[in-house]
Amino acid sequence: MPIITLTTDFGTKDHFVGAVKGAIYNELTDVRIVDISHHVTPFGITEAAYILKNSYQNFPNDTIHIIGVDSEISVENRPIAIELDNQFFICCDNGIISMITNDINPDKIVEITIHNTGDKKFSILDAFVRVACHIARGGKLDVVGKQIDEIKKLYEIQPLVNAEENKIVGSVIYIDNFGNVISNISEKTFNNVGKGREFEVVARNYTFKTIHKKYNDIVDYSIPADKRQDDGKKLAIFNSENFLEISMYRSNLKTVGGASSLLGLDYRDNITVRFL
Amino acid sequence: MPIITLTTDFGTKDHFVGAVKGAIYNELTDVRIVDISHHVTPFGITEAAYILKNSYQNFPNDTIHIIGVDSEISVENRPIAIELDNQFFICCDNGIISMITNDINPDKIVEITIHNTGDKKFSILDAFVRVACHIARGGKLDVVGKQIDEIKKLYEIQPLVNAEENKIVGSVIYIDNFGNVISNISEKTFNNVGKGREFEVVARNYTFKTIHKKYNDIVDYSIPADKRQDDGKKLAIFNSENFLEISMYRSNLKTVGGASSLLGLDYRDNITVRFL
Amino acid sequence: MPIITLTTDFGTKDHFVGAVKGAIYNELTDVRIVDISHHVTPFGITEAAYILKNSYQNFPNDTIHIIGVDSEISVENRPIAIELDNQFFICCDNGIISMITNDINPDKIVEITIHNTGDKKFSILDAFVRVACHIARGGKLDVVGKQIDEIKKLYEIQPLVNAEENKIVGSVIYIDNFGNVISNISEKTFNNVGKGREFEVVARNYTFKTIHKKYNDIVDYSIPADKRQDDGKKLAIFNSENFLEISMYRSNLKTVGGASSLLGLDYRDNITVRFL
């Protein structure tokens, strides 16, 4: 059974998500629809890229991903469909695909042309759903668009390395449900540049000498549980997606606060690794 | 496979939605459950009507819609099941159905009677799920209730036209995820009353002389992208559901604000069209 | 078709839920995934227990429940899989199972051992998904873990009865989407201790002499609807899950407030029943 996923900035209160699902089920009786996220910040293509980058590979081959973020079609924001890493992505050509993958070249890119027939305003319903259902039925990309070679490239998700190769200057690309602050510095980049040297991670005026593998690495289990005071301790960690993250142990963004609120780290702020 | 949709004010944190889904799967092994919205404002039947009005028609024929908003059964709030526009709606008779459709007469209305057997308090579980599963199995409405002719009528979703037919006085019926302010003035009503005359749209002390077809109509693409200052511009538009909407271009309700917060427009505020 | 439910504190914005669903669909083509809740307060095992306690029994036999709350594996937080009441639960041994059921003994408990093979950090993906899919395929618990006899017990969800048996001291265990304040005092405990005596319910400085069966019990339907002033009245009720709850009639937590905000009742505050 084909899988169509949805990643949007529509929220889950309004009718938009229901309308899209209804339209898909109206075309295909045998399909799974999976919500990846509908709470992307409005027009937040970096966020949407981070979310998809860290989830799409778990899905089976041939999964079709609809991205409804910054998807009003214009002369500068053309609808595209892409075959990439054995999966399909349908979105606007606003740079999001270049942030989802840095290493993998798309197998095929088409500019969607079937949306030109009507006067509907809602691009997702007008074009994306029809393209997704076409692919789900085993249809070819060429039928719904014309092949193109280039898509818009954005590199916001990439950190910078200085000429001396002793410093990685990254930035905050995502703040998660726990207030964890996630940088664009991958463990791979860290290892490639650092080559095993000593280091310090600097985020605002906080410095970290260790990057942990698990959150509870900081807990000393030899101390009795009721004597420990680990909750709220700050730490640097390579998270489950292998990005450098600043976290506070067992924090709660809505009550006591998380790393983002307590350390004052926001989207786009710098996070730097200095090798010594 | 039958489709049952859920539109409620239950939120998605509590156990209510999970309990309803479990109960449906316990009765039917072969069914699709689709969440339309669980974030309707508590007891917000106008919101629920707007959400369903703009999504139900995308679903296939015979889809069954459960509406869990203002659904505690009382002598004044009877549970009903309705066949309408080739679909089914199960809700309480609180006026919501009259706001979902103004033009289409229900093919059949029954007052649900099967809930009287137990002492369960949670109407959705007690009655709505059983009725939905009965319909999904191809059962007739008459088996679960007794036919009635009248349902409660509410007209909040309808704008007023003055006697001279040169003014439409509408009101805000919905504020969406982007802070867009949506009125009850449809493009059809606008055209029928306006007959091509010049007009102005007035919302508080803001006036709009143009109603756009797409949000990015206001962008001048001949100006280089980095010189444009369109974000945050206010505009009037007929939205994807063909209602007159006041919007701010690419706004973000949670950070800089949207039309609702920046222009001070709230649910039930007046929006007027004057023809000249 | 097997059913796997998810109850987590991941939120619905991040990639976590999508990643888990993708991983399940990658292992099983024929499975239903049901979201029970992803908005449990971070590390809120009492909340998660309340949510599952009140939803799991609606699901068919053999449903598999993954609980991703406080699920980072450590020497003190072992992953377990449990067969209980004809259903399966996969979680960490943090006390959550003892709060889901007080009366029912698990049929089988295993400590999951298959997670020790890799260095993945994200326990749910590493272990829980694989165990869930194994069970969904009809596999035995013994294959994925070693049998154990004891799990961690927490009694937070239990109220206290004084020696004279004329007082039940309970506490707030949950605040729902409407701001209703839910105690751990069940109707059964109330009846067993009270034996039909007169009583008063005390929550902060508010006293209730009646416990209602339905919210709209407090409405006098002989008064015309436009003359009634019931909205916002406070009441005690045995809710749909048969727990004693303090509510305000038709309240809205986000606008005028609900029982929690208006009466100043928060998680863990005392609610007492005195028998006279």
C105-114: per-residue pLDDT in tens?
Answer: 899 999 998 8
- Separation CA A253–CA A264 (nearest Å): 12
| Whether C69 contacts C36, CB under 8 Å | no
pLDDT at C153: 87
Find the CB nearest A23 among B58, B176, B240.
Answer: B58
Inspect the interface and report whether the beta carbons of A18 and B5 lie closer than 8 Å. yes
- Chain B residues with CB-CB distance to A254 below 8 A: none
- Separation CA C91–CA C111 (nearest Å): 10
Edge-to-edge strand order for the sheet containing A87-92? A32-37, A3-8, A64-68, A87-92, A79-84, A108-112, A145-147
Over the range B31-56, which residues count as b (16 or more CB within 10 Å of their CB) and which as e?
bbbbbbbbbbbbbbbbbbbbbbbbbb
pLDDT at C270: 95
| Whether A61 contacts A86, CB under 8 Å | yes
pLDDT at A180: 95
Inspect the interface and report whether the beta carbons of A42 and B177 lie closer than 8 Å. yes
Residue A191, chain B, CB below 8 Å: the answer is: no
A203-254: per-residue pLDDT in tens?
Answer: 999 999 999 998 988 899 999 988 988 888 999 999 988 999 999 998 888 8
C71-84: per-residue pLDDT in tens?
Answer: 888 888 899 999 99
Over the range C79-104, which residues count as b (16 or more CB within 10 Å of their CB) and which as e?
bbbbbbbebbbbbbbbbbbbbbbeee
- Separation CA B26–CA B10 (nearest Å): 21
Degrees, nearest 5: CA angle B269-B270-B273: 155
Whole-model pTM above 0.95?
Answer: no
State how far Cα C8 lies from the chain centre: 12
Per-residue confidence band for B229, with pLDDT thresholds at 50, 70 and 90: confident
Find the CB nearest B214 among A15, A42, A72.
Answer: A72
Cβ atoms < 10 Å from Cβ of C271: 27
- The nearest alpha carbon in chain A to B59 belongs to A22
Give all domains of chain A, ordered by start, each with its CATH number.
3-155 (3.40.50.10790), 159-275 (2.40.30.90)
- Separation CA A164–CA B216 (nearest Å): 45
Over residues B176-180, mean pLDDT: 93
Dihedral sign for Cα A189, A190, A193, A196, please.
Answer: negative
Asked if residue C120 has pLDDT above 60, the reply is no
List all residues of chain C from 22 to 41 with a beta carbon under 8 Å from chain B. 32, 34-40
- Separation CA C215–CA B194 (nearest Å): 47
C172-227: per-residue pLDDT in tens?
Answer: 999 999 999 999 999 999 999 999 999 999 999 999 999 999 899 889 999 998 89
Helices B16-27, B129-136: crossing angle, 10 deg rounding:
40
Dihedral sign for Cα C21, B252, B172, C178, please.
Answer: positive
Find the CB nearest A122 among B53, B240, B253.
Answer: B240
Percent of chain B surpassing pLDDT 70 = 95
